[in-house]
Amino acid sequence: MSSLKEKLAALPAKPGVYLFKDKKGEIIYVGKAKVLRRRVASYFKPNPELKTSILLDRLYDIDYVTTASELDALLLEDELIKKYKPRYNVALRDDKAYPFIKVTVNEEWPRVFLARRREGDGALYFGRYQGGMVRAVLRLIKKFFPVRWCTESPLKKRQQPCLYYHIGSCSAPCVGNIAHDDYLSLVKSVILMLEGKMDRAIEGLKAEMAKAATARDFEQAAFLRDKIELLDKMRAGKTDLAKAPAPRLLSEVAELQKALKLARPPMRVECFDISNIQGTNVVASMVAFLGGLPLKQDYRRFKVRSLAGKPNDVQAIYEVVKRRYSGSLAKKLELPDLVVVDGGPAQVSFGRRALMESKIDRPLIGLAKREEEIYFPGRTKPLRLSKESEALKLLQRIRDEAHRFAVTFHREKRQKALFQ
């Protein structure tokens, strides 16, 4: 038992699959866990159930495999159960009990559903899965990818969409609510997820979100944004598959537009921050958010050139804002709907001047840390929003990310300087 306790203590607090072995080294049980250490420890509680006691009597060794997410653990568990057929797993051993997930890429408007057998019909088949597992995966797909769930083939056109559309689980191609190419992109993301390529599935959704934002379809963009956020949490092991809430429409962007009295919704926001110690190694960051989510491929870092060892945040703001909107980046990156600088009236004034000299007509504000006040160009009185305001929370999230990114870059510069 002491050896098992050592094994238990060495288990990581990560998602993965654990394997119980007997004295002969044979695998007698396979299980998946959101947190390996916590799940395996639960078997060793006082007064276990009879079936657990029987399993522990045979247990001699514990092995494990970590995975990137709980979903990956679920899929790996299924593969290992089918491979080793552990005697204490309750999974049925007859392959007839292991269904597939079928994606009908052979249809104009593909569907995703459970299939008991593989047919030579040109569709894609994933699995086999345990019966309960396949339903869990299908429920997960319904949460994140609004592909159709109706059964007819070919798809019938309707006057009104079904209930799945109203709860956010279908994009309603039956009423022409989504272009065919966009729908196929969603199906491609489903396939990538089933292949275990979660990162690429998320990137596919981000591309759809960006396309919706460019088309000014902010409701759809926010809807996809929420799905991406949930997938990111699930990938990081912060969301239980069974308890993951259905995506919901958030209103931060609309609230921010209303609070700042903007002419257009601030779907894309760019924020600047400066970091230095007494004027040395002065650097700046720019982060971009799309629909309330970080768009990390558009983040940029700047070495401030115009300061000679003297701290001057407002001059630094002027330099990097102008470099962003009048230099090469002006051609490479899309213009934002709102520019934010970290600071008060002085930073706002210099940021606005840089925009005007760059001939960029975009609203600019400053968010001052101490009182979390919002400053506008040409106004002396700041705007104060409630601490519970969703608009303020969105601005704080963007500003804090810009600060983190700037500090990280400054730390890297400072460490390099020590060895020069």
What is the pLDDT at residue 53? 73
**Strand ranges across the sheet with 27-33:** 27-33, 16-21, 61-66
Please check the confidence at residue 413 and state whether its pLDDT lies above 50.
yes
Supply the pLDDT for residue 197.
Answer: 78
386-411 pLDDT, tens digit per residue, is 999 989 999 999 999 999 998 887 67
Cα gap 66→121, rounded to integer Å: 36
Confidence of residue 418 (pLDDT cuts 50, 70, 90): low
Does residue 251 surpass a pLDDT of 70?
no
pLDDT, tens only, 283-312: 889 999 877 778 888 899 998 877 766 668
pLDDT value at 55 more than 70: yes
- Interhelix angle 180-194/198-214, nearest 10 degrees: 160
Question: Which three-class secondary structure string do you get for 250-284?
Answer: CCHHHHHHHHHCCCCCCCEEEEEEEEEECCEEEEE
pLDDT cut 70: percent of the chain above it? 84
Name the least confident of 84-88, 161-165, 182-186, 350-354. 161-165
As given in the structure block, the two tokens for residue 206 are 């981000």
pTM reported for the whole predicted model: 0.50
Domains annotated on the chain, with CATH: 2-89 (3.40.1440.10), 100-249 (no CATH), 256-418 (3.30.420.340)
